[in-house]
A = this chain, B = another copy of it.
Amino acid sequence: MNQSFDIAVVGATGTVGEILVQILEERDFPVANLHLLASSESAGSSVPFRGKNVRVREVDEFDFSKAKLVFFAAGPAVTLSFAAKARAAGCSVIDLSGALPADQAPQIVPESNGHLLAGLAQPFQISSPSPSATALAVVLAPLRQLLDLQRVTVTACLAVSAQGREAVSELARQTTSLLNMHPLETRFFDRQMAFNLLAQVGKPDEQGHVPLEKRLVTELREVLGMPGLKVSVTCIQAPVFFGDSYSVSLQLAAPVDLQAVNAALEAGEGIEWVEADDYPTAVGDAVGQDVVYVGRVRHGVDDSSELNLWLASDNVRKGAALNAVQLAELLIKDPL
């Protein structure tokens, strides 16, 4: 492929945006001009790309006809303000904020439902699902044929970076302060996050579900192409900087052969399968890696129609930036 493309990244100074720019470079994405966009706060700063410093500009002032493809990594409000404008200017959109309705921007994880891209009209508009749906979809995709999956029960233990830069600083500040025996002072989180687990991430609705939990259920069904799948989910906040972990229990219609499961996972795209004498962790394995780690593959204690798994994934890479760049790689196989 000799063609190259003008690309824009909205939220280029953020946790996801910075890594997204790095990944474009790492994977040698055919970028002609790179437009880095953020709010007025960091307009004027710069971000390194291919040995040069690229100046960050304000998204409000950007002319989207200058780009063929834009990544939205700056929160749902920013996507809602600018995505329609971008498309009207002929620019394809990959959204990482979860803001766009499924019928306007299908949720896609290449390893699970990448084939859907072929049916879309230009300029494209697609969503990269939440990190939780992405990690689960990568691991469940190769098991779909093998198992008669009745229910997925998952406790997602999310890193604080899921909530952006401020959450990362707050965990560091709280931890230092507690170790120095200073009284706790909370800023970003409304209570002690260091050496503690929080039972929810975000604000619950009347029924007690937080948006991330509802998104996980909808997105996982969509990405796996299993609209009737039962999904029980709890998202908790762990005192971990980067890297999500998932405790997953699958209920199956019939006993499952562990060897077949292990073989399917080992062969699965985008998966690093870890043998039973070891297990992966977010920090020790997943962070900085492109694959989703899976380990502790086992039956229930006395139920062979139950399959338990432990997943670890880099929430910022495969959970966001990498998946979005992979989508872009598939899109440019057809001219944008």
Q: Which residues of A contact B (CB under 8 A)?
A: 151, 153, 155, 157, 171-172, 175-176, 179, 191-192, 195-200, 204, 207-209, 213-214, 217, 230-234, 236, 238-241, 243, 245, 247, 249, 251, 276, 279-284, 295-303, 306, 308, 310, 312
A282 and B236 CA atoms in complex are apart in Å by 13
Point out the residue from B157, B192, B240, B249 that lies within 8 Å of A283, measured CB to CB.
B192
Name which residue of chain B comes closest to A214, CB basis: B301
CB distance from A255 to the nearest CB of B (A): 14
Q: Let me know if B234 and A197 touch, CB within 8 A.
A: no
* Residues of B with C-beta under 8 A to A171: 195
28 contacts between A and B (CB under 8 A): A153-B249, A157-B236, A175-B179, A191-B281, A192-B283, A195-B283, A196-B243, A196-B282, A196-B283, A197-B240, A199-B279, A199-B281, A199-B312, A200-B279, A200-B296, A207-B299, A208-B297, A208-B308, A214-B301, A217-B301, A232-B249, A232-B301, A234-B247, A234-B249, A234-B308, A234-B310, A236-B245, A236-B247
Grouping DSSP codes into helix (H, G, I), strand (E, B) and loop, the A interface class, with mixed when no group exceeds half, is: mixed
Q: Let me know if B284 and A196 touch, CB within 8 A.
A: yes
* Residues of B with C-beta under 8 A to A241: 195
